[in-house]
Structure formats: C-alpha cells, structure tokens
Amino acid sequence: MANNSKRTFSQFRAEAKVEPYVIEDSQGSDIVIEAPNTDQLFRLAEGGGSPRNTLEIICGDSFEAVYAEVKHLPIEAFNEFFEDLMGHFNMGGSVPPHSGGN
C-alpha cells in the first residue's frame, strides 16, 4: 500500500470546523457554545448522567451562562433548546434522559 495518502490531525481539525452555537441571553448578550470536542463526546458516551450533567458537558465553558437561562424554563422550552443545540452540532436532537422529553 502506497503511503502517498498520509493524513494529519491538522487536516482533520480543519475539515471538521463547525461554527459555534450562539444564543442571546435575557440581557441581550450572546452566549457562545463551542463545538464539542472528542473528550466531551467520550464523557457523554461514558454516561452523561443527569440532564444537567449532559448540558454541562456539551456547553463546556459556557455552562454557567446557559444554566442561568434554562434553569427556570418550562421543560418544553428546555427540550426545544436542547434539540436545537444538539442538532446544530449534528449530535442528534434527543433531549437528555429524564428531562421529560418523548
């Protein structure tokens, strides 16, 4: 097998560029959620656990700002937000376990 098709992780990183998910908070400021990385995916696969833990893993550094907005939402609104967030990152649109979704 010829080795002329050598790839690099830099190539994969560049090809997989996903735009962040941006949502406006109740104060009119943008919350920017970066695309999940492999470690976050592994942590989810190993048992994200509660809906809050799942959200924390996906949102990363933006979790506190997101949680401040979603913690008092009706469950239907949270489920819509979560499905939109996950869909944006091509991670399916399933609501987290035990969140009241279908």
- Position 100 pLDDT exceeds 90: no
Residues with Cβ < 8 Å from 26, sequence gap 6 or more? 69
**pTM here?**
0.78
Backbone angles phi, psi at 97, to 5 degrees: -55, 145
Residue ranges of domains in the chain? 35-102
Residue 93: per-residue pLDDT: 52
Residues with Cβ < 8 Å from 70, sequence gap 6 or more? 55, 78, 81
40-98 per-position pLDDT tens digit: 989 988 876 788 999 999 999 999 999 999 999 999 999 999 999 999 998 875 555 54
Q: Are 59 and 91 in contact (CB under 8 A)?
A: no
Token couple for 102: 């279908």
